[in-house]
Structure 1
Amino acid sequence: MTRADDDRLRVGVLVSGRGSNLQALLDAAARPGYPARVVVVVGDKEQAPALARARAGGVAAVWLNPKDFGDRVAYDVALGRALDEHRVGLVCLAGFMRILTGGFVRAFSGRILNVHPSLLPAFPGLHPQRQALDHGVKLAGATVHFVDEGVDSGPIILQSSVAVDADDTEESLSARILAVEHRLYPEAVRLFAEGRLTLAGRKVLVR
């Protein structure tokens, strides 16, 4: 069996921006023994560098223009159709700046992951690194979690912290957290692909 037609978990990635977490997943999938592979990347911005990364990696890249749809529900129906066409078993959000509708989340329930640059439940939403600095916390970090119908509120899979330095700026703290995201996200996908995650209410049990 070749890697082109293997039976690894098929992952779809939703993007809006530069795609550095997408690249971390692509790099992980290229390593021997990794149990998942990215089969499609869907973006809402035509010029998103993440879509170019996908094409460069030989992965299907799909642009869905929000202006072509009457509302969020119609957009998310098309989004789900694009993922289903590629027989996706797991959806990963990687800098996707749209809030998913409840219908989409329910359709892929238990199969959507997100990475967020804070130690959730602290600092959900936009600019969490700035929020961390404004609150004077001593530890920041990254979280990979299942996606539910709230904003950054789903059950937590993995977390890792970084120390906040006294002279940190939003940019310097963001860079250190991003390095953690690049390590954490592929590991969470690995655990999912290996069937080692069990949802128990708000808790995720890792075997």
Structure 2
Amino acid sequence: MEGSFTLPREGSTSDPLRIAVLISGGGSGLASILAYESLEPRSFHTVLVLADSDEAGGLDHARKAGIDSIGIPLPRIVDKKEQRLKHEDLVHEQLEKYNTELIALAGYMRIFTPVFVGKWKGRLINIHPSLLPKYPGAHAHRDALADGAVISGCTVHFVDEGVDTGRIISQSEVPVLTGDNIGDLQNRVKAAEHALYPRTIDAIAKNPGLFVDRQDG
């Protein structure tokens, strides 16, 4: 099931785009988005933070900023497919309740089904720790080092029905240094992510049509 590609409306400082940030862990990416928002009026405003666990540490960032934060664990359903779809239904319900206009995945470790993506396609973005299309998937830093890469970085992209295959919005390069291990490269890329993601979200909010046509079949 593939949904139509529909971008959000144009936001402004007087009428900012309503975004939800989805996390799984400590939420350092979320913290960078909230810090960017706090500096001056932006064309987007975080209205909701969702996590796939009640225990996700990043929920505290939202609470401290006065933003509604909700943990939605996987429901207790034996059938894995049914469990996954029900979980996505619960996430979708909250996004709709808060009139979400753009979803930013920030360290969210679940892969959405085509059913969910179809509902939000064009309004669902992610940041990945490599220069896509190189090194997709969960082990980007390991793969970059194993490949002998001298440049890595991060990519903000629209989410489609594949894994890290959506069209690219923005990228930032970082060097891979001699002697780097996975942790070294991860920390360097993470710093680039924290600079790139908030700026890109703001750019999308200001002018969605700058990136793709408003309808993309």
The Cα shift of 1:67 comes to: 2.9
- 8 Å contact from structure 2 (residues 75, 87) kept in 1: no
Give 4+ residue runs of structure 1 displaced > 6 Å after superposition. none
The residue number in structure 2 matching 1:198 is: 211
Counterpart of 1:124 in structure 2: which amino acid? Answer: P
Structure 2 stretches of 5 or more lacking a match? Answer: 1-13
CA–CA separation in structure 1 for the residues paired with 2:27 and 2:139: 17
TM-score by length of 1: 0.91
Give CA deviations for 1:32-63 in whole Å, capped at 9, x if unaligned. 13111111011111111111111111111111
- 8 Å contact from structure 2 (residues 128, 154) kept in 1: yes
The residue number in structure 2 matching 1:67 is: 75
Give CA deviations for 1:87-144 in whole Å, capped at 9, x if unaligned. 1110000111111111111111100110000000111111201110011011000000
CA–CA separation in structure 2 for the residues paired with 1:175 and 1:200: 35
TM-score by length of 2: 0.87
The residue number in structure 2 matching 1:140 is: 152
Q: 2:179 aligns with which of 147, 163, 167?
A: 167
- 8 Å contact from structure 1 (residues 39, 59) kept in 2: yes
Structure 1 stretches of 5 or more lacking a match? Answer: 1-5
CA–CA separation in structure 2 for the residues paired with 1:29 and 1:138: 33
- 8 Å contact from structure 2 (residues 76, 83) kept in 1: no
Counterpart of 1:118 in structure 2: which amino acid? Answer: S
CA–CA separation in structure 2 for the residues paired with 1:115 and 1:141: 11
The residue number in structure 2 matching 1:9 is: 17
- 8 Å contact from structure 2 (residues 17, 101) kept in 1: yes
Aligned length: 197
CA–CA separation in structure 1 for the residues paired with 2:60 and 2:148: 37
- Supply the RMSD in Å over aligned alpha carbons: 1.6
Identity %: 39
Q: Secondary structure at the match of 1:30?
A: helix
The Cα shift of 1:200 comes to: 5.3
- 8 Å contact from structure 1 (residues 29, 35) kept in 2: no
| Residue 40 in structure 1 maps to residue 52 in structure 2 | no
Q: 2:62 aligns with which of 36, 39, 54?
A: 54
